[in-house]
Structure 1
């Protein structure tokens, strides 16, 4: 499966063995006059931490603790680094287009990199380039070489492998600098990142013949299971699971749809069960007529009614489509090998200003 794809939803969820992560997504584009030529996103534990684009040329902290804890010097340093990085990426877009014999159209150069710290102390890191939504070049930390995903990337591989300097630099960054800054970020933002918020759960239905939707929203963290039971047994047939989406306030939402006739659920005990990571007690909602919020007949209007939810989802989707067009990528875990615990480092959290070369 290709690692680099355009998003219509955010799917940046770590595996259960990973408790903390820091990731950067850098995208340069051409042929999109209404969008920035360069966008950079930083995420801690899949929460947007920082944002930069060439429309404003400013680095913005997206969590209250970023500027408060890291200070104005940090903000200015990241801003200056990313301004320089945007120029390097612009050059690389031109180089890639020339290699692929392209003179016009919409094209993107992407870079995703970052590190993860497991609850067992094991660390991981990845550094990977993409072009036009497909893999281009990735770092093999075990051999300190670069892996070309296609013939056009072989030129870059041979050039960078000749000295080995860039592979050594990036490996050291992922093993040491990145992990140490990840620890700092988690410590500074722990009140936000380690919070536990129970979801609000509601049952929704458009018409009497439509599927019944169990909608859980406002929960944190993102690790959740939403499923249907019939007479105490989990249902798999006639059940459709939706994706986990992020709300504007950083919490999450998820829906699971059950196709069942009114006669069936009135003659049996159906209930929706929500299990959230970090919270022991399950949340259940029994499928009875008075619990269903609907657009037909009488309705229990509230903050989670279908119209309100539709507005929230619509806003989220609109944002994601914009992000998709400028080429944000899904983080894909590839190398399962870990690193030894890192040593202390006080260098910059971003290596993009130091490590971006011509491809």
Structure 2
């Protein structure tokens, strides 16, 4: 896997895509993704930041340009100068902080040589009941590293290699208090402002254009996979029913939600089934853009026997065709042999006649 892809995959691991029951919490979020490399030869910038409201990219920043850029018209057209100044100053401050944290982590790993990468995700969510929660996580060289805990003002280390940095950051509580103040106060305030600016854009609800179930067999295992295509927003619920009763979540693979590249999303959820029991399973999909849930079942393709029949018919026709050609070839050969035989016989008789004539003359 390329080095450029590794931070992206880590960010996807961090994203709170769905709740355990397959339902994404109906909330709004403000998230910032930071990434950078210690050496430019990795093809990554020294520092780059991307800001998202829900799933909409609205701002970007790079160490090289040292300035923030709006990435969506609804932000650039409605943002006040005060909010713009606040965003720019925050991103410049995080650029500086990112560099310091990067070198601290590298020193604690004794990584003074070779190239390394650092990834950070931080932000907040506002739930339907107006409660808020924050998150602040670090990844190093494509692996989980440290996670900030606002309630206890300390850091959770993903492995033993992160312990040294954890202890260093916990020597004083000043940094931790500043982090908590941002996650619990500044971030939700900023998110409320952005939601007011982009309400019409962010509240779009496009239901899935198609829900279908596919059948997959690997060795002796049979899996049904339910696909929901081309929907917006990500607030989607997908579940499996067996005999019209919801299945236990432990029997189901978690919902996957992936971007299509055109602003919409696709999602799927899978379940392992016993061969021959596929018709007992129903996929149910709920989305804010739907008046009522959509359902789908696996429908065995009727084209299989038809294809076999068509292939068999074609095979018979081909056999008959070539048999006819072979018959004609053999028939022509027989006719040719008879003709040649008559010709040779006639030639011999003619010679005999000439011989007799010559003998009679002498």
TM-score scaled to structure 2, two decimals?
0.62
Question: How far off is 1:123 after superposition?
Answer: 2.4
Aligned length: 285
**Cα distance, 1:27–1:289 mapped onto 2, change above 3 Å:** same
Partner of 1:185: 194
Partner of 2:56: 47
Question: How far off is 1:188 after superposition?
Answer: 1.3
Runs of 5+ in structure 2 lacking a partner? 1-7, 158-162, 309-362
4-13 vs 247-256, which deviates more?
A: 4-13
Partner of 2:285: 274
Work out which of the residue numbers 167, 177, 181 in structure 2 matches 1:154.
Answer: 167
Question: How far off is 1:182 after superposition?
Answer: 1.0
Question: How far off is 1:264 after superposition?
Answer: 5.7
Work out which of the residue numbers 210, 224, 229 in structure 1 matches 2:236.
Answer: 224
- Give yes or no for contact 1:229–1:270 (8 Å, CA) kept in 2: yes
Question: How far off is 1:171 after superposition?
Answer: 3.2
Q: Within 1, Cα distance between the matches of 2:196 and 2:283? A: 36
Question: How far off is 1:194 after superposition?
Answer: 1.9
Cα deviation 1:224-248 (Å, max 9, x = unaligned): 2334445544567996555121222
- Give yes or no for contact 1:138–1:148 (8 Å, CA) kept in 2: yes
Larger radius of gyration: 2
Question: How far off is 1:72 after superposition?
Answer: 7.5
Partner SS state of residue 118, structure 2: strand
Partner of 2:16: 12
- Give yes or no for contact 2:29–2:53 (8 Å, CA) kept in 1: yes
Partner SS state of residue 44, structure 2: coil
CA RMSD between the two structures: 4.2
- Give yes or no for contact 1:244–1:254 (8 Å, CA) kept in 2: yes
- Give yes or no for contact 1:20–1:45 (8 Å, CA) kept in 2: yes
**Cα distance, 1:283–1:171 mapped onto 2, change above 3 Å:** same
Q: Within 1, Cα distance between the matches of 2:76 and 2:149? A: 32
- Give yes or no for contact 1:148–1:157 (8 Å, CA) kept in 2: no
- Give yes or no for contact 1:9–1:245 (8 Å, CA) kept in 2: no
**Cα distance, 1:90–1:168 mapped onto 2, change above 3 Å:** closer
Q: Within 1, Cα distance between the matches of 2:180 and 2:244? A: 50
Work out which of the residue numbers 64, 68, 71 in structure 2 matches 1:59.
Answer: 68
**Cα distance, 1:289–1:128 mapped onto 2, change above 3 Å:** closer
TM-score scaled to structure 1, two decimals?
0.62
Question: How far off is 1:21 after superposition?
Answer: 2.0
**Cα distance, 1:239–1:141 mapped onto 2, change above 3 Å:** closer
Q: Within 2, Cα distance between the matches of 1:7 and 1:115? A: 15
Runs of 5+ in structure 1 lacking a partner? 299-359
- Give yes or no for contact 2:216–2:224 (8 Å, CA) kept in 1: no
Q: Within 2, Cα distance between the matches of 1:148 and 1:128? A: 9
Residue 114 in 1 paired to residue 123 in 2?
Answer: yes
Partner of 1:253: 266
Q: Within 2, Cα distance between the matches of 1:120 and 1:183? A: 14
Question: How far off is 1:281 after superposition?
Answer: 0.2
For CA contacts below 8 A with separation 6 or more, give which structure has more relative contact order.
1
Q: Within 2, Cα distance between the matches of 1:269 and 1:174? A: 46
Q: Within 2, Cα distance between the matches of 1:137 and 1:99? A: 17
**Cα distance, 1:234–1:104 mapped onto 2, change above 3 Å:** same
